[in-house]
Structure 1
Amino acid sequence: MQEDFLHYIWKYKKIQINRLQTIKGETVIINTVGQHNPNSGPDFFNAQLTIDEQLWAGNVEIHVKSSDWFLHHHEQDKAYDNVILHVVWEHDTDVFRKDHSVVPTLELKDLVSKDVLSNYEELFNKENKWINCERDFANSNDFVLNNWLERLYLERLERKSKTIELLLKESKNDWEAVLFKMLAKNFGLKVNGDSFFSLAKSIDFSILRKSQYNQQTLEALLFGQSGLLNESIEDVYYLSLVKEYQFLKQKFKLENSHILPCQFFRLRPSNFPTIRLSQLASLYYEHQNLFSKILEANHLNHFYKLFKVSTSTFWETHYTFQKESKSSKKSLTKSFIDLVLINTILPLKFCYTKYKGETVNSDIIKVATSIASEKNSIITAFNNLKTVSNSALNSQGLIQLKTEYCDKNKCLQCAVGNTLIVK
């Protein structure tokens, strides 16, 4: 038996509500269960109970055994002086407040239906399952699951907002600067994400603003700061970048000694850092007020058009500075733009909406719903149980579900888990 289950039982009144009595025989009527408190202090604040026809307002504390009150030293903590009911699975001793008054106790073990207990035990019976409910997930209610995934998607956006808020603080609320840092990390993907992020953080965005009117200047800035201009290569384009970067370095007193090195190993040529940095430079060369344009865009096609950029001419016949390759136009693909939207643009728009004190824009949900589902091991495993992910909103929701609920055994806080307990 776990306290989380008892919290669930109390919060949703999954007990024989008409048979409630304290261990002293006093009748208990639940007017309101109170506000669930996930932090330190009593488990439920501001409950209203009628105990033996006397109305009480205060807090409720929940334990597996009554003696846990003393195990947690609540008798010495004034935060528990306002506890009006001690709810336990099994009563084994009377408990007292700091002033030595007895706290009324409600024992639950004979008030919970056998079906609810059986479902709870079955759900948490691990047996090497990928997720606790994998046997029943296929039968989950579509309406409940779809609504839950939308809520989980918003939860995931909230989590990503914390990173954005830290970047905003660092940049003194310069949204364009935050966008650049997040885009840089996104363009680096998993292998070079941290490297590109350290590169973006090394450049004050005012320098990029002054450089973005010339594409070659932008490339010199990004390639130079990334350490990709440190070789001895006899090529006109390469040497012009080196010369331009040396000028920028001296003019703006640039420092790049702490930037993480870029990696080429085990990358497809289209994801080489040279190609991605050139595409990033092209994006900022073509759009001088990128953040404003992102705010104006509210349909997926608007974003595809906005991010339809290619490398500079040199990179149409190269993947590295040293070797020429077959000519090809290296534009951002729709699948890559989708990743940028999922990981950078939509979280940023969500955070900006919050910053402005507005409700979540339905356009964010619409765009997330219109983007194709991501493909990874988590999504594949869920789809093997039940075909559920047909959009980025679903796939992001499923990632949130697996990492923040399934992996942490928070089934009782999950809409799917809740339906399985009372099925």
Structure 2
Amino acid sequence: EWLRHNHQNDPAFDNVILHVVFEEDEPVRTSTGSRIPGLELKNRIPDKLWTRYLQWQHGQHWIPCQTMIDQVGDLHRSMWLDRLLVERLQAKTSQIGERLAANGNDWEETFYQFLARNFGLTANAGVFEELAVSIPQRILARHKDQLLQLEALLFGQSGLLHDAPEEEYTRQLRSEYEFLRKKYKLTPLPATRWKWGRLHPGNFPTVRLAQFARLVQQSAHLFSKILEVEEQADVEALFSVELDGYWKTHFTFGKPVEKGPKRLGPDTIRLLTINSIAPFLFYYGSTMGEEVYKDKALHLLEQRQPEKNHLIKGWEALGWKAANAFETQALLHLKKNYCDQRQCLHCAIGAELLK
């Protein structure tokens, strides 16, 4: 490695006093020609541990240490999951910092954009975020007392209003949007950006936009409200928006149904807590030096039910059943960033099992 990276010709490495390698196949020197003492680890590592490590690195199990995972104590597991969750939140908050800077350190605007992204779920996350960027939160806040205007702004900007069937409701939306579009010099997104395939009707873009309009109407400055929450029940109350009027009998424009969408479900609120609320509280606490907000983020995740997906089922099959969203988030981070990458030596579980 020393020679391959050409360190022998780089004066920056002349201060190295010891070269530690698994096997020293040849001595290494500085740019001045001085030999650097080497420490070979090959004969200092027990054969049993080295063999185990190689098996982990080249094995085909779902996680490298799968056959030994039951030997990990509850305390050791709990401490490592705590650390993993913090790592995961820190990774998520790096994106928040970049967007916050782009928004001139406007926390409300930045939270609004991230919340919009997660409102779109996986299928429409990107276009929902683009929509939020195209129509700033401060504009929506000016119209929070007029639901029709909020809906007109969101449906108009989404591009979905353009080809909506002609009926009284859509005529009202178009009339409002045309006036507001000119007033704020808005450019709508292409309707083709939205995805509909394989979505449950309750997750159709039209339903999500209607729910988002109700949420803005109920709490225009959402981030200020988020800073005040103490328990998950506070989050439930804040996001408890129910549709009525046109959207009580429609999943999309022009197609009435007997029983339409009603309110945001617990699974959606859980996702918003995990992907928007907790990361923002954690980042805000870190940025402002206020531990209380970081603690709130962790507390909210502890109160949420565990997620359900194939990765969590994989951990359950190994006997690691998560008690809440705090632990599922940590387990997802462990699988993606340690197990799948074979980073066993950097993992507290791997290090423990290699003793």
Alignment of 1:256-267 (within 5 A): 256-257=188-189, 261-267=193-199
Q: Distance in 2 between matches of 1:232 and 1:96?
A: 74
1:299/1:339 CA distance change after superposition, 3 Å? same
AA of the residue aligned to 2:27: D
Aligned: 1:222 with 2:150:
no
1:81/1:287 CA distance change after superposition, 3 Å? same
AA of the residue aligned to 2:132: A
Deviation at 1:71, TM superposition (A): 2.5
1:293 paired residue among 225, 228, 231: 225
2:245 paired residue among 295, 306, 313: 313
**Paired position in structure 1 for 2:314:** 381
**Paired position in structure 1 for 2:80:** 148
The secondary structure found in structure 2 opposite 1:362 is helix
**Paired position in structure 2 for 1:330:** 262
Alignment of 1:353-368 (within 5 A): 353-359=285-291, 361-368=294-301
More displaced, 385-394 or 133-142?
A: 133-142
**Paired position in structure 2 for 1:97:** 30
Aligned: 1:170 with 2:110:
no
Q: Distance in 1 between matches of 2:148 and 2:283?
A: 33
Q: Percent identity?
A: 38
Q: Distance in 2 between matches of 1:364 and 1:327?
A: 36
Is the contact between residue 282 and residue 309 of structure 1 (CA under 8 Å) also seen in structure 2? yes
The secondary structure found in structure 2 opposite 1:361 is helix
Is the contact between residue 305 and residue 323 of structure 2 (CA under 8 Å) also seen in structure 1? yes
Q: Distance in 1 between matches of 2:261 and 2:13?
A: 68
| TM-score, normalising length: structure 2 | 0.95
Computed over aligned residues only, the root mean square deviation of the Cα atoms, in angstroms, reads 1.7
Is the contact between residue 303 and residue 324 of structure 2 (CA under 8 Å) also seen in structure 1? yes
Is the contact between residue 286 and residue 294 of structure 2 (CA under 8 Å) also seen in structure 1? no
1:322/1:258 CA distance change after superposition, 3 Å? closer
Deviation at 1:259, TM superposition (A): 7.2
Is the contact between residue 168 and residue 175 of structure 1 (CA under 8 Å) also seen in structure 2? yes
Deviation at 1:158, TM superposition (A): 0.7
Aligned: 1:234 with 2:234:
no
Is the contact between residue 250 and residue 261 of structure 2 (CA under 8 Å) also seen in structure 1? no
**Paired position in structure 1 for 2:16:** 83
**Paired position in structure 2 for 1:115:** 48
**Matched positions, count:** 354
Q: Distance in 2 between matches of 1:398 and 1:169?
A: 30
The secondary structure found in structure 1 opposite 2:19 is strand
1:118/1:171 CA distance change after superposition, 3 Å? same
Is the contact between residue 194 and residue 260 of structure 1 (CA under 8 Å) also seen in structure 2? no
Deviation at 1:403, TM superposition (A): 1.1
| TM-score, normalising length: structure 1 | 0.80
**Paired position in structure 1 for 2:324:** 391
Deviation at 1:258, TM superposition (A): 5.8
Aligned: 1:207 with 2:154:
no
Greater per-residue helix proportion: 2
1:259/1:421 CA distance change after superposition, 3 Å? farther
State the Cα deviation string for residues 96-128 of structure 1 (Å, max 9, x = none). 2122222111222222222322332232231x2
Deviation at 1:211, TM superposition (A): 2.0
**Paired position in structure 1 for 2:347:** 414
Greater per-residue strand proportion: 1
Deviation at 1:358, TM superposition (A): 3.0
Q: Distance in 1 between matches of 2:106 and 2:64?
A: 44
Deviation at 1:357, TM superposition (A): 2.5
Deviation at 1:367, TM superposition (A): 1.3
**Paired position in structure 1 for 2:176:** 244
1:242/1:385 CA distance change after superposition, 3 Å? same
State the Cα deviation string for residues 357-406 of structure 1 (Å, max 9, x = none). 23363222121111111111111111111133121111111111111111
Q: Distance in 1 between matches of 2:24 and 2:15?
A: 20
The secondary structure found in structure 2 opposite 1:124 is helix
Q: Distance in 2 between matches of 1:235 and 1:259?
A: 19
2:278 paired residue among 322, 337, 346: 346
**Paired position in structure 2 for 1:185:** 117
2:303 paired residue among 363, 366, 370: 370
AA of the residue aligned to 1:100: G
The secondary structure found in structure 2 opposite 1:298 is coil
Higher relative CO (Cα under 8 Å, sequence separation at least 6) belongs to 2
Alignment of 1:134-145 (within 5 A): 134-145=66-77
Q: Distance in 2 between matches of 1:377 and 1:405?
A: 17
Is the contact between residue 149 and residue 397 of structure 1 (CA under 8 Å) also seen in structure 2? yes
Q: Structure 1 regions of 5+ residues with no counterpart?
A: 1-67
Q: Distance in 2 between matches of 1:103 and 1:139?
A: 41
State the Cα deviation string for residues 178-228 of structure 1 (Å, max 9, x = none). 111111111111111112111111112321221222111111111011111
Aligned: 1:160 with 2:92:
yes
The secondary structure found in structure 1 opposite 2:17 is strand
Q: Distance in 1 between matches of 2:52 and 2:156?
A: 61
Alignment of 1:18-57 (within 5 A): none
Is the contact between residue 168 and residue 178 of structure 1 (CA under 8 Å) also seen in structure 2? yes
